[in-house]
Structure 1
Amino acid sequence: MLSYSIIGEKSLTFCRWLAIITAIAAPMSTAVTSVTSIAMLLTWLISGEPVRSLKISAEQPAGKMLLLFFAWLLIGTLYAETPWTEKVDTLLSWKKLAFTFVLLGLFYQTHWKRLFVGSYLAVMVIAGLVAVPLWLADLSIRSGREPGIFMTNYASQSMAFIAAVVCCIFLLRQQLSLKHKYLLYGVIALFIVNIFFISPARSGYVAFPFAVIFAAGCVYGYKKLLPIIAVTGSVMLVAILCSSTLQQRTQTGLTEKAAYQTSGELTSIGVRVIFAKNTLSLIKEHPVLGYGTSSFKSTYSRYAAAQYSGWRGTSTSDPHNQYLFVWLENGLIGLLLFFAYIYTAIRQGLNSQPYGVIAASFLVAVCATSLFNSHFKTFPEGNLLAFFVGILLAQRNVETKESP
């Protein structure tokens, strides 16, 4: 008969593998991600380790800032003029960051991080190889998706490959044979083709230079920043000149931005401009405390309906800008706490090389795209970020840290 300690140990191991599977599935399948994340939490509870692992999470700088941000979200529910059902829904929309907090106390051992990076890269290489022939053959295997796009959407597919590029950059600094380094360069090229030629995701075009420059700067040293920027710029220039997908998406975005005041129909960029203008106007009225957690949709909808008719008066629960969303709901205090978490997580990553820097680099990329999206909260991108950061950023404090 197995003792409880053995059951707990096996449950914890299974929990960590489920976390790795969830991270890999996040950009690919909503159903799989939902099932495996719940299973991960159940095995975590069965392991008997929740209290100890949560203490480890709370010891870390990023964990402490997450607790402060969560506390302010809860305070925000007290002055929001919305039903409690909406308050609970909004709090649950931030559960991705709660996953990060849990994982910070589970993945402090180096070999688990190594397993995650290896597993993630292996699956992404297969995904990249699958996407290219589908794109070349102009085939769509999921309804409503563009040729070559088989993950949840083109944005999640691009962000998944950008995370993989960051992993490759750090692997290049390992003691590898010339053959393996050339192989890694080939894999990076495969991901670049997917990001710039196959996917029409503008968020990927924005995230790529931020991720690569930050990651390469950490790996090779910031004294080599100018050559790094030059190489990244050259890659971007080649993509701009050669990728018809990138050219079309960029031109469409510029056209929509220029015509948002006169356009007769809703456009992706045009509506984002309207969202931003209206949200900033509302923020000016309550800049410090905001309108309370869960208040965005009701507050914005009343204002937009009074100001505009047609598509410009469209109601929304998301301004497609993560920072404006936090500022409107939770005020300047909430926004500063959110920035403090980001800063602390990046700093913790820089102090936890090499795996922590991978997390920090991907976080920087998502911060850039969150100027035009809410990638901390969207299901595929938010879960990918949460698990990537939680797994790779985890550490023990100085007194209890295990030897590498």
Structure 2
Amino acid sequence: MTVESDAMLAPARLSPWLDRFHIWRRSAIWLLAADIAAVLIAASLPWSTSATSILVVLWLIIVVPTIDWETFVQDLTDPARLWPIALLALAVFGTLWADGPWPTRLHGIKPVAKLLLIPFLLYHFQRSQRGSWVLIGFLASCTLLMMLSWIVLFVPGLKPANTLSAGIPVKNYIDQSQEFALCAFALALPALIAWRWKKWRLAAGCLALMLAFIANMLFAALARTALIYMAVLLVLFAARHLSRRPMLALLASVAIAGALVWTSSPHLRQRIADIGVEYQARDISGIASTAQRLTYWRKSIKFIAEAPLFGHGTGSIKAQFERDAGGQTGLEAEIVNNPHNQTLAIAVQWGLLGVLLLYAMWLSHLVMFTGRTLAGWIGLVVVVQNVVSSLLNSHLFDFHQGWLYVLGVGVAGGMSLRAARRRSEPGSTATLRTRRSF
């Protein structure tokens, strides 16, 4: 047999395998594998950054072959998909006018790169019926973490990791508070719906789990930023899902409960009292979080004024602080690559253009969750929590909070888009909506 004949037969030999692959990649089992991988990502996020990263890569490997690329590209005109990609593109192009070494510039793309997954998640869960599995997986994982948090609070020797704070089994109190607050407010709407439908056991179960998450934050491990975004989310929930009288009753009840918690929680009182001590700090020998943030913000505003339109380029934050720290002492000499404010972190690197893209992305995601479905409420909680917490932290760039945002927007957004598409189909019936009156 000649070489030419072998070359002619090769495609014929591969053709059956390619046909099988095309059939397999669109099969129910393949799609189920993608959904299970997404559940594992959500379940691993509260526990391990390494496991989350590995599972994200695995999920992409499974999902990419299932994509109809013509439809995928057409969907990119949707603002919810377009703006995350635009922000990532700006980070890539921002390496061209940064003056730091290339490894630093390329490393500056990494915190933004996770946004690329939002269009893939929206595409997949707009077609999958198992988005709720991911949400339940995350809730179950956080519930397990919350139970372990109570245990290690009283028995520190059982900690699986060497954390700095009591009541923190893994990671840190900021990540844990973000997770627990998200779970608590995500459960608020199911509890309300169950109450209205007189499903007392379900309502009691949701309410008990909500209170367990909130109690853990107030008595065991609290990020003070959580107090701010929980207050915003409480008002948002009351205004969105309650009529006037129940809304006032809820806010009054929360005020009374807050007063009782204040008198009974030394942990909460200490966390608030620390603000005054931190504000007066002049160096980092003690607790200085508040003074540090004020210093970072003041310096960042100065850096932005030097390059207001396009910023100093990708990965330039640390270099700006290094340049400004020369000859300084105390907090003024501190060198960081995170100004602890998302807007400032964007503006230092990419100026006003970057800030406009950031706000456009947040706004497009808020608009996506205007529906009164459960997925719409959860997505709204995710976005509002990220926006508010990003006033005091660069939470879109942080690993944990950033992936929490990407997963929440991608999964809940896909579910919301799927529900909206089904409602718009001819002959379909509108989905049940929660009533505003109690």
Alignment correspondent of 1:247: 269
Q: Judging changes above 3 Å, is the alpha-carbon distance between structure 1 residues 52 and 70 closer, same or farther for their aligned structure 2 residues?
A: same
How far does the alpha carbon of each residue in 1:323-352 deviate from its partner, in whole angstroms, 9 at most, with x for none?
Answer: 111111111121121011111101111137
Matched, 1:365 2:365: no
Q: Which residue of 1 aligns with 2:299?
A: 278
Instruction: State which drifts further: 129-138 or 51-60.
Output: 51-60
**In 2, Cα distance between equivalents of 1:286 and 1:324:** 12
- Unaligned runs of 5+ residues in structure 2 are 1-16, 432-438
C-alpha deviation, 1:99, in angstroms: 2.1
Paired residue type of 2:377: V
Q: Decide which structure has the larger Cα Rg and report it.
A: 2
Q: 1:114 is matched with which residue?
A: 132
Q: Deviation of residue 50 (structure 1)?
A: 6.3
Question: Per-residue deviation at 1:240?
Answer: 2.7
In the alignment, which residue of structure 1 is the partner of 2:121? 103
Deviations 1:363-395 (A, max 9, x none): 211221111111111112211221111110122
Establish whether residue 73 from structure 1 lines up as the match of residue 91 from structure 2: yes
Deviation larger for 61-70 or 212-221 = 212-221
Q: Does the 8 Å CA contact 2:307/2:351 hold for their aligned counterparts?
A: yes
Hey, what does 2:163 align to over in structure 1?
Answer: 144
Q: Which residues of 2 match residues 85-104 of structure 1 at below 5 A?
A: 85-104=103-122
Partner SS, residue 152 of structure 2: helix
Equivalent pair of 2:97/2:313 in contact (CA under 8 Å): yes
Structure 1: gaps (5+ residues):
none
Residue 202 (structure 1) aligned with residue 202 (structure 2): no
CA–CA distance in structure 2, aligned partners of residues 399 and 168 of structure 1: 25
Identity %: 21
Structure-2 change in CA distance of 1:13 and 1:131 (3 Å): same
Which residue number corresponds to residue 83 of structure 1? 101
Q: Does 1:159 align with 2:181?
A: no
The higher-RCO structure (CA 8 Å, 6+ apart) is 1
User: Does residue 346 in structure 1 map to residue 366 in structure 2?
Assistant: yes
Q: Secondary structure at the match of 1:213?
A: helix
1:384 partnered with 2:399: no
Q: For the Cα contact (< 8 Å) 1:200–1:246, is it kept in 2?
A: yes
Residue 396 of structure 1, CA deviation: 5.1
Change (3 A) 1:331 1:242: same
Counting only pairs closer than 5 Å after superposition, residues 228-377 of structure 1 correspond to structure 2 as: 228-257=250-279, 259-261=280-282, 267-306=288-327, 308-351=328-371, 353-377=373-397
Q: Aligned-residue CA RMSD in angstroms?
A: 2.7
**Cα pair 1:352 1:393 within 8 Å, conserved:** no
Query: Which AA in structure 1 matches 2:405?
Result: L
1:169 counterpart letter in structure 2: A
SS in 1 for 2:166: coil
Contact 2:343 2:391 (8 Å CA) reproduced: yes
Structure 1 CA distance, aligned partners of 2:392 and 2:366?
Answer: 21
Length, aligned pairs only:
401
Residue pair 1:202, 1:249 contacting (<8 A) in 2 also: yes
**Structure 1 residue ranges, 4+ long, deviating more than 6 angstroms after superposition:** 397-404
What's the offset of the Cα at 1:55?
A: 3.3
Q: Which letter does structure 1 place at the counterpart of 2:408?
A: F
